[in-house]
Structure 1
Amino acid sequence: MSKYNVNEKGYYGKFGGAYIPEMLYPNVEELRESYLGIIQSEEFKNEFNHLLKTYVGRPTPLYFASRLSGKYNTKIYLKREDLCHTGAHKVNNTVGQILIAKRLGKSRIIAETGAGQHGVATATVCALMGMECVVYMGEIDMARQKPNVERMKILGAEVKPATSGSKTLKDATNEAMRHWINNPTDTHYIIGSVVGPHPYPDMVARLQSVISEEMKQQLQVVEGRNTPDHVIACVGGGSNAAGAFYHFLEDESVNLIAAEAAGHGVMSGKSAATTTLGKPGVLHGSKTLLMQTDDGQVVEPYSISAGLDYPGIGPIHAHLFDAGRAEFFGITDEEAMLAGVELSKLEGIIPAIESAHAVAVFGNRQFEKDEVIVVNLSGRGDKDLETYIKWGKY
């Protein structure tokens, strides 16, 4: 029995499940009954792996960051998900989910996006497969991630603004779920993270697990062992972290480290550090840790990074935190931006601001000289250049 993976009822410990309106039940149930059979079939595996290799550009390199390692006096490897087609790990999931949607006979795709990377990855695979695509995005996120909005449109997607609430990722997710309720038979909802009702968190984690699968093979070549001492990844909803942690979950000799967005400071009132500020509750169809008021209203999150600006975390991460299996660090905007610029100047790699949160862990925690650390560099910084420019301290 797995301690850290999902159980047959869709729970990670006390988190997870499918808390959904009755009108969504047929959609979610159809997916729950079908996803494992599809993912585990030889036909799916062959098509998925072929596209990952020839279209996405996998395997992504495991790069030894010698200058960064020198600065922090330890051995730091970067898993280069920023080199995937579309610029982030998100495409691993969208390729897998569109193949599942095809096998379920769906003809339309909807998605939500925060930083725009998942929206671009969804629009990309819809273009690849000739499917109609509608992406919901918060109005504020549309303004701060304009290049990604235009990329989605060029790829043929319709981008619909979410204009309620905080006009960010949470609200885009709400709009996408409403759309799905109204179009249940021909539409598949590609959720971009390990959030939402079961089976989404498990399905997305399985599709992203290619990240840790490759890490093991690559570490064997460069280190003569297939496990690192630590894996570090940023967590908003947490799909890149779920993929990076997946094959190490049950091996407690591997320490898992998650970097959350602390915004202006964990206790500043402008933060998204869910494990510190959150309490158990239900958000977007699953029970997890989320930031909420005493009467259960969702507290608006804040982060300089649109991809981490979410008031909850995926139920798998809520369980890893609750069980003490992973260390969680709240990284401020300032720490993340400084780490992003440091990586750029030391290694010639400009990271997405999401990924910069993971790199910033080195300023918050000591590591031993001979320890092997893999940082999941989940995305590249092209989409964030305007934010770097506005911040200006480089």
Structure 2
Amino acid sequence: MIEDFAVKFGRYGGLFVPETLVAPLADLSYAYAQLKGSAQFQDELKALQKDFAGRPTSLYPAPNLSRRLGCQVYLKREDLMHGGAHKLNNTLGQALVAKRMGKSRLIAETGAGQHGVATAIVGAKLGFETQIYMGEVDIERQKMNVYRMELMGAEVIPVRSGSRTLKDAINEALRDWASSFEHTHYLLGTAAGAHPFPTMVRDFQSIIGQETKEQILATEGRLPDSIAACVGGGSNAMGIFAPFLEEEVKLIAVEAGGRGPGMSERMADNGASLGYGTDGILHGALTKILQDSYGQILESYSVAAGLDYP
């Protein structure tokens, strides 16, 4: 049964979870596979993207930055979406899936707070009870987003274990979901976790790259030489990269790096899991992770909340 739906991306991804999560992941996988091909579902999602979220977002030619760098630079303005970030692309899609599955409650993790805000938005819009897990460290440095989540009726639950950041918020959300999946959907916001989450995040965020491709062809008459995106969990990078994977375009993922407070010299690159990590299991999937020789997860560091994901 597991082999039927445990999709991988090459040798990465897959399904490495306790037995309590196999059934809800299977249910979600099969439900999404059906809805993905439903014209009614896609029409409802497109209507919300246009009329509620404010898509398409502009592809802005940045003249000052272009002059400074000596090349033509465009910015894909996902900050102009309702809520102020790309996160709403994914939360709208997953919340509609949850609605079709008959769920009444949404839970989510958040680091920088933008995914939590986007989950609170769809929870209020579609009538879900909504609870957001957020590390204590991130709550302190993202107070305004915490205020916005609560303003929209979501409960923010502080996570005090581990590094008290994104990794630990995901841990707590998974524990919650394991005991509440009959009526709860875990709205994972990043390109991580067991299948079908990375696939769903990629699919719902790929509208960023689809629009970019259409817009740059209309403006420049050709595809860009390169596309750069920041990577913490990776949802925005996955979204803009996916439609260009088969094209002759250089794709550049930029990770947080450097030495954080209390870090030894040996741990100086512990912000860059894709660049310096090794193969291992984290949150139900095989991926590149920062770990010690015993497979224990190392704490990553970034001054920016949400980018410190190991």
Same fold flag (TM > 0.5): yes
Partners of 1:87 and 1:55 in 2: CA distance = 13
Partner of 1:264: 259
Structure 2: state its 5+ residue gaps: none
Q: Secondary structure at the match of 2:117?
A: helix
Paired with 2:151 and 2:269, the residues of 1 have a C-alpha distance of: 34
Is the CA contact 2:133–2:156 (under 8 Å) kept in the aligned structure 1? yes
Q: Percent identity?
A: 52
The CA distance in 2 between the partners of 1:83 and 1:188, in whole Å, is: 27
Paired residue for 1:34, among 18, 31, 46?
31
- Matched with 2:298 is 299
Aligned match of 2:59:
62
For the residues of structure 1 that align with 2:206 and 2:277, how far apart are their CA atoms? 26
CA contact (8 A) 2:5 2:29 kept: no
Instruction: Tell me how far apart the structure 2 counterparts of residues 61 and 277 of structure 1 sit (CA, whole Å).
Output: 34
- 2:126 corresponds in structure 1 to 129
User: What SS does the corresponding residue of 2:133 show, helix, strand or coil?
Assistant: strand
Looking at structure 2, the residues matched to 53 and 296 of structure 1 have their Cα atoms a distance apart, in angstroms, of 45
Q: What is the letter of the counterpart of residue 269 of structure 1?
A: A
1:279 maps to 278
**Aligned-partner SS, 1:308:** coil
SS of match in other structure, 1:78:
strand
Structure 1, 94-103 or 255-264: larger mean CA deviation = 255-264
Tell me the distance in 2 between the aligned counterparts of 1:293 and 1:268.
10
- Partner SS state of residue 288, structure 1: strand
Asked if the contact 1:263–1:304 (Cα under 8 Å) also holds between the matched residues in 2, the reply is: no
Answer yes or no: is the 8 Å Cα contact 2:300–2:309 preserved in 1.
yes
Distance in 2 separating the partners of 1:270 and 1:73: 30
- Which structure 1 residue ranges, 5 or more long, are not aligned? 1-6, 312-394
Residue type matched to 1:249 in 2?
L
Supply the AA of the counterpart residue of 1:290.
Answer: I
Amino acid at match of 1:168: T
Q: How does 1:97-176 map to 2 (within 5 A)?
A: 97-176=94-173
Alignment of 1:209-224 (within 5 A): 209-224=206-221
Q: In the TM superposition, what whole-angstrom CA distance separates every residue of 1:233-287 from its partner, at most 9, and x where no partner exists?
A: 0011100000000111122x11100000003389653631112321100000100
Cα distance in 2, alignment partners of residues 231 and 58 from structure 1: 20
Contact 1:270–1:303 (CA<8 Å) still a contact in 2?
A: no
Aligned pairs for 1:346-385 within 5 A? none
Matched, 1:45 2:35: no
What's the counterpart of residue 246 of structure 2? 250
- Cα distance change of structure 1 residues 21 and 8 upon mapping to structure 2, 3 Å threshold: closer
Distance 2:194 2:131 in 1: 20
Distance 1:220 1:277 in 2: 35
**Structure 1 position 78 matched with structure 2 position 55:** no
Q: When the two structures are aligned, how many residues end up with a matched partner?
A: 303
Q: Distance in 2 between matches of 1:215 and 1:30?
A: 33
Q: Distance in 2 between matches of 1:166 and 1:52?
A: 35
Secondary structure at the residue paired with 2:306?
Answer: helix
